[in-house]
A and B are shown apart, each in its own frame.
Chain A
Amino acid sequence: MNEKHQKSFTTVKSYRPFHSRYDPCKPIGVKYYSTPPNLFLGFQPPNLQQFSAKEALKKGTLWRFFYDYYENPYEKKGR
């Protein structure tokens, strides 16, 4: 991958929603949202690194840069 286009960002962000003492549900604590790689590149530059054809068919993209595995962020935290 071009030096310039190394991943210098995160694809999961979080924030802490305000919780009032009058809110009946147990506070969720942290809320998560995705910010996938396509938000950060603009027009795709030439010569980005590729997956092998076989791998690409499995992953859903030819380009390593755009690959973004998703898992339930709340489960990971063991909630």
Chain B
Amino acid sequence: MWFYEKKLQYPVRVSTCNPKLAKYLIEQYGGADGELAAALRYLNQRYTIPDKVVGLLTDIGTEEFAHLEMIATMVYKLTKDATPEQLKEAGLGEHYVNHDSALFYNNAAGTPWTATYIQAKGDPIADLYEDIAAEEKARATYQWIIDMSDDPDLNDGLRFLRQREIVHSQRFREAVEILKEERDRKKFF
């Protein structure tokens, strides 16, 4: 069960109407290494992973939904009140035809989200290594978006999200260490 707190994890500010930036940002919404993929991956893997790290997957998976909500707010603000003409200029003409200004789970190139982006192998090491890779890929995506963006307010929020990827990667790496550990076993070499 979840409790919902009606506020964002980190305040989202956007300085200009910039649908082009929204088109880039949607990669982190419905892309392969985006927040939706991350949340669904972790919250699904947790059923078949050793007890010691279930809580970690629950916590991080939950936080990814908080990030998803931040990205949604950013995309919404960047496109709010934009005319069809402005959307077209930003390369969102196809999006407008299908969705108007509604958000949708697709990547920056318009490919819809698919469950084939994520895996649950049932092998704890394989799954955690995928999770570490996902965090590093999301971190890189945030960097590339920051590189392309000239919106300082937006970048402030993106830097926060990038920092969270670093912390999550650290915790997944620690989870691997926990599962490797021999500490509580009666094992003599």
Contacts and interface: CB of A to CB of B under 8 A. Distances in A.
A28 B82 CA distance: 35
B104 to A, nearest CB: 27
B177 A38 contact: no
Interface in B142-189: 142-143, 146-147, 159-164, 166-167, 169-170, 173-174, 177
A70 B170 contact: no
Interface of B: 10, 139-140, 142-143, 146-147, 159-164, 166-167, 169-170, 173-174, 177
Given A34-B139, A38-B169, A59-B163, A43 B174 contact: yes
B166 A37 contact: yes
B70 to A, nearest CB: 12
B166 A66 contact: yes
Contacts of A42: 173, 177
23 contacts: A34-B143, A36-B166, A38-B166, A38-B169, A41-B170, A42-B173, A43-B174, A43-B177, A44-B174, A57-B10, A58-B160, A59-B160, A61-B166, A61-B167, A63-B167, A66-B163, A66-B167, A69-B159, A70-B143, A70-B146, A70-B162, A72-B146, A75-B147
Contacts of A72: 146-147
Contacts of B159: 60, 69-70
Task: Name which of A43, A67, A75 has the most chain B CB atoms within 10 A of its CB.
Answer: A43
A71 interface: yes
Contacts, number: 54
A57 B160 CA distance: 9
What bracket does the count of chain A residues touching chain B fall in? Answer: 20 to 34
Contacts of B169: 36, 38
Interface string A30-54: 0000101110011110000000000
Task: Name which of B10, B161, B164, B173 has the most chain A CB atoms within 10 A of its CB.
Answer: B173
Interface of A: 34, 36-38, 41-44, 57-61, 63, 66-72, 74-75
Given A57-B10, A60-B164, A66-B170, 19 more contacts: A34-B140, A34-B143, A36-B139, A38-B166, A38-B169, A38-B173, A41-B170, A42-B173, A42-B177, A44-B170, A60-B159, A60-B163, A60-B167, A66-B166, A67-B163, A69-B159, A70-B162, A72-B147, A75-B147
B56 to A, nearest CB: 13
Contacts of A58: 160
A43 to B, nearest CB: 5
A38 B143 CA distance: 16
